[in-house]
Chain A
Amino acid sequence: MKTYVEMIIEGPEEYARGYVRGFVAARGSHAEVIFDDEVGIDVDDIVQKIKGALGLSRKVVHSIVDADTAALVREAIGSARDVPLNVRSERTIDRARFEYKFEIFNREQGELVVKAFKNLPTGVALIGHDLHVKEDPSARGQELYSPAHEYSVTGHGAAEGPIDKIIWLYKELTSVEQLTAENITLAFKENQA
């Protein structure tokens, strides 16, 4: 199992994203680089949170990369000249978690969610998970004053596990519009949080 780190890079946001992605691509690596706002990873810096929410350019970028790639990126940034970036910190991720709730009335999307929870990635556990599938054939078709649904999947809970698996599950679930997921929170190895 790979070890992943959260690497906080200081510098112009777009520059940092381009540099890290370009570096990894130029090495011919298939390592995945994920930036916090691309998936919805919670960051503990309130200023960055506000800037991100307002769509303003940030001076700090949180990226998630495997430990080997992180070492290479750190070395590249440290040795490069005229690159306005600096690795502020690196923390090894122990596990990740997100909470979700859903009320889905589209059968295709409901079945996707049910399937995703049935076939969880290795190492992912569900906490307080609750899921109900309800079918009411009498509610089929359009209604004006009693808009019951023929099919519904409702539920809530939290998923916890390795960061790469959690990100995969998060992306899978949030492709369904009627499922709301909170940001992913990260827990770090001891003495690093």
Chain B
Amino acid sequence: MIVVSAAWAQAPVEPETQTPNEAPAGDVAAAPDAGAPVVEEALAAPVAAEAEHAAAEEHDEEHGGGHHGGVPGKVLPLWTALPFAGILLSIALFPLLAPTFWHHHFGKVSAFWALVFIIPYLVKFQGAGMYDILHIYLIDYIPFIILLWGLFTAAGGLVVRGKLRGSPGVNLILLLIGTLMASWVGTTGASMVMIRPVLRANAWRKNKTHVIVFFIFLVSNIGGALTPLGDPPLFLGFIHGVKFFWTMNLILPMGFVSALLLAIFYVLDTYHYRKETPPKDDGAKEPLRVDGLHNLLFFAGIVGGVLFSGMAKLGSFTLAGVHMDIQNLVRDGVILCMGALSLLTTKKQLRADNEFSWAPILEVAYLFAGIFATIIPALAILKAGTEGAAAPLINAVNKPWHFFWVAGALSSFLDNAPTYLTFFTTAIGKLYPAGIEEKVAATYLMGHLSEAQIAQGITDGFKYLLAISAGSVFMGANTYIGNAPNFMVKSIAEEAGVKMPSFFGYMFKYSIPILVVTFIITTFVFFV
């Protein structure tokens, strides 16, 4: 049954053609914004200038960056985002409430929510709706899956062997290595590579649950903050115009949070370690070594491919009405080659030792196929700013620390990649006029403004983007469902015999007293 509301029935179907310099500057100022230094009249000119600059670079954003060929967000009612809420809640709740059902049917659930959105959307908006769907799959979904596949494949060929004794010092070093690794091989890859050495080192200990919990905090989440390869939200940011090395700006908050957590871990682990009876088989220690090291070359290739796409301009073409940049296709091709080379050159035994399978990447592919379809109206509405149905939300989040906590709180319970994209778009809708080119807005969000632009009153979005990025990446650690590797680590640890806390046990015993308190301190240091 397809139900179309009055709001849909009245919606104009023609594509949004508003150019940046036609954007109503009053949109932003109309919001009762206490925190964002927006000067309404100054916006139109610099936005136009930036648009000209973009045109000069032949970087065609008319189709690629915005919704110019798609359905304008201001005509979409809020309930069109219900399938998006449905799929995110399904991912959050089914593994907890009906794990066996979810294990066997998650693909069907994802397809269900996608179709609940797609069918009425296409019936109502036809060509414009089709453009939106093709656009998000070609520009966001496929590169996203290719990157995760490449990182996952290369990480699956790296095996850390050896057996250390899990003393507080050794555990601290293992966590530090994992944290530093995560930004370059992805939080999933780093978790997969490092969790078994950590479990082996601590197999003799009775009290080791906290070691795995801090592993989830640091390696599976916070460590991924420094590059777009580290955590899926940041790669989505990269696809949407955030420069590759901009995320290095997170080094201070990430370093601060990591140092604080490592210090707490060391104290806690020392307390537990003192209560342990040391193992009799001390002689069984075996130094760490890494097999499959040649896979680092493929990681370097992936980094190179991503960097290349951010710097090169090789022209563009249109596929089914969607603007495609050739350098992005080169990037995806390089990543696919790196993954294929990793598969061809890595001994099968190494992958077997990692218990490597395609299951995780297939899960991501199925679920994100649904997420990326259903997120279309949510992003369009948010991008419409105060003209859209999400105006109350946009008016409610004003200051960077609001974004840190709102993006973070939602990332704690919903997957952090779509949450990042949602608030990235919210910030654009909030700070800049409706219709602004996304990559131009991304430039402002990165804080890349000339003195003239600052003088003209364009909001420097640096702290906003920093807050959204940090909130989405860091607070994925708040619950098991905040970020994909959390569940994987929990599951591997449980199969190794570790007693892991329940969903609420994890929150009340660890994340609220340790992480949330750390994030409150971080808020005052970096985002207020």
Min Cβ gap A188→B in Å is 31
Interface residues of A in 136-187 (CB under 8 A from B): 136, 138-151, 176-178, 180
Dominant secondary structure at the A interface: loop
Contact between chains at B495 and A149 (CB < 8 Å): yes
Stretch from A3-11, A68-76, A102-110 that touches the partner: A102-110
Contact pick for B359, options A136, A143, A180, CB 8 Å: A143
Q: Which 5 A-B pairs have the closest CB atoms?
A: A147-B491, A148-B103, A106-B497, A141-B357, A144-B484
B278 within 8 A of A: no
Interchain CB contact (< 8 A) of A142 among B102, B106, B364, B491: B491
Q: Is the CB of B206 within 8 A of A144?
A: no
User: Do the beta carbons of B494 and A106 come within 8 Å of each other?
Assistant: yes
Instruction: State the CA gap A167–B86 with chains docked (Å).
Output: 50
- Chain B residues whose C-beta falls within 8 Å of the C-beta of A146 in the assembled complex: 95, 99, 102-103, 106, 363
Which parts of B478-528 form the interface with A (CB within 8 Å)? Answer: 484-485, 487-488, 490-492, 494-499
| CB within 8 Å for A142 and B498 given contacts A147-B95, A148-B99 | no
Is B32 on the interface with A (CB-CB < 8 A)?
no
27 intermolecular pairs with C-beta atoms under 8 Å apart = A105-B491, A105-B494, A136-B100, A138-B104, A141-B355, A141-B356, A142-B192, A142-B355, A142-B359, A142-B491, A143-B360, A143-B363, A143-B488, A143-B491, A144-B364, A145-B367, A145-B484, A146-B102, A147-B487, A148-B99, A149-B494, A150-B495, A176-B497, A177-B497, A177-B498, A177-B499, A178-B498
Once A and B bind, how many residue pairs between them come within 8 Å at the CB atom?
Answer: 84
Closest A residue to B92 by beta carbon equals A145
CB distance from A31 to the nearest CB of B (A): 23
**Chain B residues proximal to chain A, CB less than 8 Å:** 91, 95, 99-100, 102-104, 106, 188, 192, 206, 355-357, 359-360, 363-364, 367, 484-485, 487-488, 490-492, 494-499
Closest A residue to B484 by beta carbon equals A144
In the complex, residue of chain A having the shortest beta-carbon distance to the beta carbon of B492: A142
Interface of B is mostly: helix
Closest to B415 in A: A145
By a CB distance below 8 angstroms, the chain A residues around B494 are: 105-106, 149, 178
User: Which of A136, A147, A178 has the most B CB atoms < 10 Å from its CB?
Assistant: A147
CA distance A148 to B492 in the complex (A): 11
Complex CA–CA separation, A138 to B106 (angstroms): 14
Report the minimum CB–CB distance from A15 to chain B (whole Å). 22
Number of interface residues of A (CB under 8 A): 24
Residues of A within 8 A of B95 (CB): 145-147
Q: Could you say which residues of chain A place their CB within 8 Å of the CB of B497?
A: 104-106, 108-109, 176-178
Within A93-149, the residues touching B (CB, 8 Å) are 104-106, 108-109, 136, 138-149
| A147 & B359 in contact (Cβ 8 Å cutoff) | no
Residues of B within 8 A of A148 (CB): 99-100, 102-103
Q: Could you tell me if B499 and A178 are in contact, using CB atoms closer than 8 angstroms? A: yes
Known contacts A141-B357, A144-B364, A146-B103; 20 additional CB pairs below 8 A are A105-B491, A105-B497, A106-B496, A108-B497, A138-B103, A142-B357, A142-B488, A142-B492, A144-B363, A144-B487, A144-B488, A146-B95, A146-B363, A148-B99, A148-B100, A148-B102, A177-B206, A177-B497, A178-B498, A178-B499
Contact assessment for B91 and A145 in the assembled complex, using a CB-CB cutoff below 8 Å:
yes
Q: Which of A140, A147, A150 contacts B99 (CB 8 A)?
A: A147
Contact of A106 among B106, B485, B490, B495 (CB under 8 A): B495
- Determine the distance from Cα of A180 to Cα of B500 in the docked complex, in whole angstroms: 12
The complex places the Cα of A177 from the Cα of B499 at a distance, in Å, of 6
Report chain A residues within 8 Å CB of B100.
136, 148
Cβ contacts under 8 Å, B490 to chain A: 147
A145 — which chain B residues lie within 8 A by C-beta? Answer: 91, 95, 106, 363-364, 367, 484, 487
A149 to B103, CA, bound (A): 10
Residue of A nearest to B207 (CB): A177
A140 to B487, CA, bound (A): 14
CA A140 to CA B192, docked complex, whole Å? 15
Q: Are B491 and A149 in contact (CB under 8 A)?
A: yes
Q: Which of A78-104 contact B (CB under 8 A)?
A: 104
Query: In the complex, are the beta carbons of B188 and A144 less than 8 A apart?
Result: yes
The residue on A at minimum CB distance from B496 is: A106
The answer to whether A144 touches B103, judged by C-beta atoms less than 8 angstroms apart, is no
A60 to chain B, nearest CB (A): 22
Residues of B within 8 A of A147 (CB): 95, 99, 487-488, 490-491
Q: How far is the CB of A171 from chain B (nearest CB, A)?
A: 13
A80 to B485, CA, bound (A): 63
**Residues of B contacting A138 with CB < 8 Å?**
103-104
A144 / chain B contacts, CB cutoff of 8 Å: 188, 360, 363-364, 484-485, 487-488
